[in-house]
Amino acid sequence: MASLPSPFADYTQLVEGFAAVGLSEKDMVVLSGRAKCGAFSQRLYGFSGPWAINGTDPTLDPEYAKVLK
């Protein structure tokens, strides 16, 4: 059984992780958009720190974050 990717994985790691189990980038976006994981949501909406951008983790790809929101 494959494990879920880390909520701290970058875009490339996520694409590679989903591809490793036969899922496309589109599948990744659809499934990620449905995610209810607290750690994941925290990176989109409740991230705090000196580099936070409108509550979003600045290490997330800005376009990917926009799609997920």
Q: How far apart are CA 23 and CA 43, in angstroms?
A: 23
* pTM for this prediction: 0.47
CB contact at 8 A, 6 and 55: no
Binding-site sequence positions for substrate: 5
Residues 9-49: tens digit of each pLDDT:
888 998 998 999 899 999 888 887 666 666 677 788 888 87
Binding-site sequence positions: 5
Going by C-alpha positions, the residue among 38, 40, 41 that lies closest to residue 14 is 40
CB contact at 8 A, 5 and 17: yes
